[in-house]
Chains A and B, each alone.
Chain A
Amino acid sequence: MNKPKIALYWCASCGGCEEAQVDLAEKILDLVNLVDIVFWPVAMDYKIEDVEKLPDGSITASFINGGIRLSEHEYVVKLLRKKSKLVVAYGACSAWGGVPGLANLYSREEILKYVYHEAPTVENPQKIQPQLKIKAEEGTTLELPEVLPRLLPLDLVVDVDYYIPGCPPTPEVTWKAIETLLSGNLPAKGSVLGALDKSLCYECPLNETKPEKVLIKDIKRPHEVIADPSKCLLTQGLMCLGPVTRGGCSALCIKAAMPCTGCFGPLNEVMDYGGKAASYFASIVDYSDEEEIKKVLGKILDPMGIFYRYSLPASRLRGKITVTRR
């Protein structure tokens, strides 16, 4: 019997998405019974050349995690797009850029300068910086992929059919998404698989303790307070992004008394997650006086890092406006 073929690939990511795939645990055995994995750099020894040899459209689905930051990423995802019937953005980085996407607040040149010359932990008296091509002593030419001017979410590079959210997607979400894809009963293109269409509050165990109208007098960072795990974290002044974040994660962080940081991304109607999250959070600050408001909101030291933690490259402005794509 011809089993459906799937490919898994990583771009600019931390490896947590692979960890999550492996965390399917014994279900991964069910998975290999159902499908053939034809490409999975982290776990199997297939090379890009093997993918190049496959007929176009012969892979049923490619699961791609990580944002597009290198010319190599761009090449491989375009190749996988050509070879696959479905392309699935797996995880927050692939869907909206993720944490590495915050680098879009700086130009490539600024980043390389800092990383290779200016960071306090760097000692580089010869001012060595990686080159795209270099002649080795033996006379061979060595090549490195190019760092692109900025990080892009997958759907700005290739056509994406489905999204699986999370940083990383939980094994439950992953499995639900795989079941949906294998069922043959495919949802509309662009759908988010494996998660809810409602916000995290909907499935949050602390929802009962959330007052009808949440108002806060002070903002606290997680290390400044020992949170009461039985009471809505927002009412304790913690910046929980649950109200503006897609549910489906089973409120894992909340169950550990940590506020939601928004890794399941925006709900369907939202066009700019950070703008929406900042809007929500600012509006519940319970002061009318401008100075008081400024003072409380001033406790958010890094608003971009908080509200765009997972989605800067997918935001309306994509990052700092002076940073080019090409």
Chain B
Amino acid sequence: MSQNFEPKIIAFLCNWCSYAALDLAGTSRMKYPPNFLVIRVMCSGRVDPQFILEAFRRGADGVLVAGCHPGDCHYIEGNIKTLRRMTLLKRMLEEFGIEKERFRLEWISAAEADKFVKVANEMFEKIKSLGPLKLKEVNTHE
């Protein structure tokens, strides 16, 4: 079962750095697991913790948020707000029973295609070994 398990990982990437890094990885013919579903946002500061909770609820096995390095944010300090929010969210995810390896915040500049590939590979391997998220039926009328 776990051999056939293909994790679904949502990646929120900022337009100015991390998405460009992903683009560069592609044009440079670098290889990374196809399990990442990428959502481009203008800034990692746009990523509300609610989005991450929603991603897990809808069946994501992992979530990656990546933005510009601190100090390099296109909007000056959007990524710093992300850092603050995700620092708190990480603690809450653990209390929800979500293993900490399933969520990752990274700074990836537009030139760091290799870093994106490294992070993607690491995350893929780790989540593959963890198996699917053990989310029991959430029960809703929605």
Residues of A in contact with B (beta carbons under 8 Å apart) = 105, 152, 155-156, 159, 270-272, 274-276, 278-279, 281-283, 285, 287-288, 290, 293-294, 297, 300, 303-304, 307, 315-326
User: Knowing A276-B48, A303-B91 touch, does A282 contact B137 (C-beta < 8 A)?
Assistant: no
Which partner residue on chain A sits nearest B98 by CB separation?
A321
Which partner residue on chain B sits nearest A326 by CB separation?
B137
User: Knowing A307-B92, A324-B136 touch, does A288 contact B87 (C-beta < 8 A)?
Assistant: no
Interface locus among B1-9, B22-30, B52-60, B117-125: B52-60
Which partner residue on chain B sits nearest A288 by CB separation?
B80
Q: Does B89 contact A (CB under 8 A)?
A: yes
Give B132 Cβ to nearest chain A Cβ, in Å: 11
Chain B residues lying within 8 Å of A315, measured Cβ to Cβ, are 53
Chain A residues lying within 8 Å of B83, measured Cβ to Cβ, are 288, 290, 293
Q: Is the CB of B50 within 8 A of A279?
A: yes
Looking at A271, A275, A326, the one whose CB has the most chain B CB atoms below 10 A away is A275
Q: Is the CB of A288 within 8 A of B70?
A: yes
Residues of B in contact with A (beta carbons under 8 Å apart) = 48-50, 52-54, 56-57, 70, 77, 80-81, 83-85, 87-89, 91-92, 95-98, 133-141
Can you show 28 pairs from A to B with CB atoms below 8 A apart? A156-B141, A272-B50, A272-B53, A274-B92, A275-B52, A276-B48, A278-B49, A278-B85, A279-B49, A281-B88, A282-B87, A283-B85, A288-B70, A290-B83, A297-B88, A303-B91, A303-B92, A303-B95, A304-B92, A316-B53, A316-B56, A317-B53, A317-B56, A317-B135, A321-B56, A321-B97, A322-B136, A326-B137
Q: Is the CB of A293 within 8 A of B95?
A: no
Q: Is the CB of B84 within 8 A of A285?
A: yes
Which partner residue on chain A sits nearest B89 by CB separation?
A278
User: In the bound complex, what is the Cα–Cα distance between A287 and B136 (angstroms)?
Assistant: 37
Q: Is the CB of A325 within 8 A of B85?
A: no
Q: Is the CB of A318 within 8 A of B139?
A: yes
Give A102 Cβ to nearest chain B Cβ, in Å: 10
Chain A residues lying within 8 Å of B140, measured Cβ to Cβ, are 156
Give 8 nearest A-B pairs by CB, closest first: A275-B50, A316-B53, A282-B88, A275-B49, A282-B84, A320-B97, A324-B136, A316-B57
Give B22 Cβ to nearest chain A Cβ, in Å: 24
Give B39 Cβ to nearest chain A Cβ, in Å: 17
Q: Is the CB of A293 within 8 A of B92?
A: no
Q: Is the CB of A303 within 8 A of B88?
A: yes
Which partner residue on chain B sits nearest A319 by CB separation?
B96
Which partner residue on chain B sits nearest A276 by CB separation?
B50
Q: Is the CB of B84 within 8 A of A316?
A: no
User: In the bound complex, what is the Cα–Cα distance between A278 and B51 (angstroms)?
Assistant: 13
Q: Is the CB of B50 within 8 A of A271?
A: yes
Q: Is the CB of A290 within 8 A of B92?
A: no
Q: Is the CB of A321 within 8 A of B139?
A: no
User: Knowing A275-B48, A325-B137 touch, does A293 contact B53 (C-beta < 8 A)?
Assistant: no
User: In the bound complex, what is the Cα–Cα distance between A275 and B54 (angstroms)?
Assistant: 10
Chain B residues lying within 8 Å of A274, measured Cβ to Cβ, are 92
User: In the bound complex, what is the Cα–Cα distance between A316 and B85 (angstroms)?
Assistant: 17
User: In the bound complex, what is the Cα–Cα distance between A285 and B133 (angstroms)?
Assistant: 31
User: In the bound complex, what is the Cα–Cα distance between A324 and B77 (angstroms)?
Assistant: 40
Q: Is the CB of B138 within 8 A of A318?
A: yes
